[in-house]
């Protein structure tokens, strides 16, 4: 029997990994057909209604990025088996196709609601937060109906995901975690805000579960609400091999966050994978490729408006000293300047600005270190990203050189962030 402490570690790791493949939603509250109108409609009209409902569900599933987590490469869509690796074992996503035995074909609408809103499977047990029910609890009943209608239209598949690691049989532990940290409840629009803001809030908070990666977590892996969206740390398995640490940037408009980004920059980034302020790489690639790039113009603008309205906040760290900054100047000049510029302002077709960059100034430098060691590139095989890619420097820079150049960009051009040391780079190599 694992000790409770280990269980919490499991939960933590899972929660972080849940974040791995996530994304966002939409909204237009189209009135659903009432049962009265259905009764008086013709069969053709009823079929039209249910097609429209399933079509809306398809869009909502994109916004919620169900596919990134439930469609494994080479497998039937939504048949599960995507592995979420944790230091204590592997957990696999479920088959959510309409197959009666292996999928959720026997599930009622109420069953799906209970799973998304409460984290409880129709099989009676508690689900782990690798499945982001902590955000999905905010999805409206009407939208769950649409997702349900859509999932019934996908091809049933008999695939059975592999058995989870033994520790994941300890599902009772989730009852305790839920009691402490989970607040079930639907999204409540704020009547004092414009409709666009409410649409954006719903997409970001409920469907997109952006907080799963971008909000810091406490030692039980629960999100710290007082610091919502101020930047989180996650880990992701890379190329089926190593776990790699990442930091998901501060999304608030504080100086080390998205202060430099306009609403239009954000909307462009969600659709195209880049803007004049930055480009996508790492775990954000799937979010953009599988989800936000496929949402409507008005929905990505609504998300951008909501994100620009988040209360600002950032950690008060000790800024890197002038001496540490100076140590990396020569390396920057030799290796980075041609694309990011001597002023750190970057340039179209060269590279994004590093001056004012949230990736560069993140409290947790993990993503900056990854960019230097492993390069930065948008998703392979997509048209996302206006730039070429940035090459890896792991082979040409030692840990202390990589730390030096990181410190240079963290403390130049008005950037403020804490010092990176060689050991931090070594841990990520």
Contacts to ligand HEC from residues 109-148, by CB under 6 A: 112, 115, 121, 123, 127-128, 130-132, 147
Neighbours of 250 (CB within 10 A): 30
167-196 burial code (b ≥16 CB/10 A, e <16): bbebeebbeebbeebbeeeebeeeeeeeeb
Alpha helix (H) residue ranges in 102-194: 109-118, 133-136, 141-151, 173-181
**Which is closer to ligand HEC, CB of 307 or CB of 403?**
307
- C-beta neighbour count of 233 within 10 angstroms: 17
Q: Is 301 in the site for ligand HEC (CB under 6 A)?
A: no
**In terms of Cα–Cα distance, which of 133, 228, 127 is closest to 182?**
133
Whichever of 275 and 321 has its CB closer to ligand HEC, that residue is: 275
Please, which residue, 330 or 423, has the CB nearer to ligand HEC? 330
Q: Which of residues 402-421 bind ligand HEC (CB under 6 A)?
A: 405, 409
Size of the site for ligand HEC (CB under 6 A): 81
Shortest distance, CB of residue 299 to ligand HEC, whole angstroms? 11
Tell me: does residue 385 bind ligand HEC (CB under 6 A).
yes
Closest residue to ligand HEC, based on beta-carbon distance? 279
Q: Looking only at residues 20 through 49 of this chain, which bind ligand HEC when binding is defined by CB under 6 A?
A: 20-24
Binding mask 47-76 for ligand HEC (x = CB under 6 A): --------------x--xxx--xx------
Residue whose CB is less far from ligand HEC, 149 or 372: 372
Output b/e per residue, 338-375; b: 16+ Cβ within 10 A.
Answer: ebbbeebbbeeeebbbbbbbbbbbbbbbbbbbbbbbbe
* Binder among 11, 154, 295, 371 for ligand HEC (CB under 6 A): 371
> According to the binding rule CB under 6 A, does residue 372 interact with ligand HEC?
yes
The Cα 407–Cα 416 span in angstroms is 10
In the complex with ligand HEC, the residue whose CB is nearer, 7 or 360, is: 360
The reply to whether 83 sits near ligand HEC by the rule CB under 6 A is no
Query: Given its phi and psi angles, is residue 181 left (phi above 0), alpha (psi -120 to 50 degrees) or beta?
Result: alpha
> Which range binds ligand HEC by CB under 6 A, 42-50, 184-192, 338-346, 418-426?
338-346
Q: Do 150 and 54 touch, CB atoms closer than 8 A?
A: yes
Which ranges in 222-365 belong to alpha helices (H)? 263-272, 284-290, 297-308, 322-327, 329-335, 337-340, 358-361
Q: Does 378 bind ligand HEC (CB under 6 A)?
A: yes
Closer Cβ to ligand HEC, 149 or 191, answer by number: 149
Instruction: Give the β-pairing of 89-92 and 232-237.
Output: unpaired
Residue numbers 216-275 binding ligand HEC by CB under 6 A: 234, 246, 248-249, 251, 266, 269, 274
């Amino acid at each position: 029997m694992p000790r409770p402490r280990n269980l919490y570690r499991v939960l933590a790791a899972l929660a972080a990994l849940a974040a791995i493949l996530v994304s966002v939603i939409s909204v237009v509250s189209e009135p659903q057909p009432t049962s009265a109108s259905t009764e008086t409609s013709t069969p053709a009209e009823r079929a039209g209604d249910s097609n429209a409902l399933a079509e809306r569900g398809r869009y909502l599933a994109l916004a919620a990025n169900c596919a990134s987590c439930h469609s494994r490469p080479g497998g039937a869509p939504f048949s599960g088996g995507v592995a979420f690796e944790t230091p204590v074992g592997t957990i696999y996503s479920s088959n959510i196709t309409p197959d009666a035995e292996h999928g959720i074909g026997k599930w009622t609408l109420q069953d799906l609601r209970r799973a998304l809103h409460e984290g409880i499977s129709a099989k009676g047990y508690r689900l782990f937060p690798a499945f982001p029910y902590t955000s999905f609890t905010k999805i409206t009943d009407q939208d769950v109906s649409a997702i349900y209608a859509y999932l019934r239209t996908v091809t049933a598949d008999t695939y059975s995901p592999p058995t989870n690691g033994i520790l994941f049989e300890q599902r009772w532990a989730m009852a305790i975690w839920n009691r402490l940290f989970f607040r079930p409840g639907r999204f409540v629009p704020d009547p004092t805000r414009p409709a666009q803001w409410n649409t954006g809030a719903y997409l970001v908070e409920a469907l997109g579960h952006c907080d799963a990666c971008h909000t810091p977590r406490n030692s039980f892996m629960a999100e710290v609400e007082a610091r919502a969206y101020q930047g989180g740390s996650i880990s992701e398995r890379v190329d089926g091999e190593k776990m790699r640490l990442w930091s998901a940037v501060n999304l608030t408009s504080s100086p080390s966050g998205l202060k430099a980004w306009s609403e239009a920059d954000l909307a462009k980034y969600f659709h195209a994978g880049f803007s004049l302020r930055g480009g996508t790489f790492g775990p954000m690639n799937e979010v953009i490729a599988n989800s936000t790039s496929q949402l409507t113009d008005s929905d990505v603008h609504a998300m951008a408006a909501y994100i620009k309205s988040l209360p600002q906040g950032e950690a008060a760290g000790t800024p890197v000293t002038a001496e540490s900054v100076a140590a990396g100047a020569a390396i920057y000049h030799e290796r980075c300047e041609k694309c990011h510029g001597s002023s750190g302002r970057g340039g179209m077709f060269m590279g994004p600005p590093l001056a004012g960059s949230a990736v560069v100034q993140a409290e947790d430098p993990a993503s900056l270190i990854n960019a230097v060691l492993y390069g930065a590139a948008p998703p392979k095989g997509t048209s996302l990203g206006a730039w070429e890619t940035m090459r890896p420097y792991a082979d040409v820079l030692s840990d202390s050189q990589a730390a030096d150049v990181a410190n240079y960009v963290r403390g130049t051009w008005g950037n403020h962030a804490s010092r990176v040391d060689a050991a931090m780079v070594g841990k990520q190599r």
